[in-house]
Amino acid sequence: MNSPIITFILLIIFSFVVVSPSVSKVFMKRDEALKTAFPNAAEIEKKEIFLSSDQSRTIESLASSKNESKLYIIYEAKNEEKTLGYAIIDTHTLRTKTETVMFVINPDGSLRQTEILAFFEPQDYQPGENWIELFEGKNLDDTLKVGKDIPNITGATITANSLSQAIRRILAVFKVASEQGQLN
């Protein structure tokens, strides 16, 4: 090979490595996210929830989504003896990369807030705040499925479906853990 061809190839490789925008973004770390979600909490207690195989199957049935973990960390925010809410941080794969999301759940089991903490797919695939807010106040009695009661995100169908499934799964984890006394 001659030198101009090698130079051209190296230039193309360089442009993809150096010029391509970074798709990785961490927006908030766990402790900061928990303080943002529960600014009035006197304490935030960490609870490790180990699911049995039966509980995992129940979660899958309730969520209409696969449950791939048997361990969940649920953060309970309290102010004295009053529970302000719960948070579950979940990392799941979208296409080939992950996103980490904090789901804040009211004591009644409804979703209060969804906060994307880290997103490693291209930014074009990240859902907007307005779309995420469509889930607020919802619980497992709601359909929570894209194309049914939640509109799709143009150009980001996989992201929309993945986040919708994660919300249903996390609400199901909360429900099962709560009903089985694992949050007391």
Query: Where in 4-141 does DSSP place strands (E)?
Result: 25-26, 43-50, 71-79, 82-93, 98-105, 111-119
pLDDT digits (tens, 9 = 90+) for 24-51: 688 999 999 999 999 999 999 999 999 9
pLDDT digits (tens, 9 = 90+) for 110-143: 999 999 999 988 887 888 888 888 889 999 888 7
> Domain locations in the chain?
23-179
More confident residue, 55 or 94: 55
- Here the tokens at position 36 are 């943002």
d(CA 112, CA 101): 13
pLDDT score of 72: 97
More confident residue, 82 or 131: 82
Q: Is 172 helix (H, G, I), strand (E, B) or coil?
A: helix
The β-bridge partners of 103 are 88, 114
Of the ranges 104-113, 124-133, 162-171, which one carries the lowest mean pLDDT score?
A: 124-133
pLDDT score of 19: 38
- Kindly state the average pLDDT of the residues 167-173: 96
pTM beyond 0.75: the answer is: yes
| Helix 157-179 vs helix 53-63: crossing angle, to nearest 10 | 130
* Residue indicated by tokens 């927006």: 27
Instruction: Name the amino acid, one letter, at 13.
Output: I
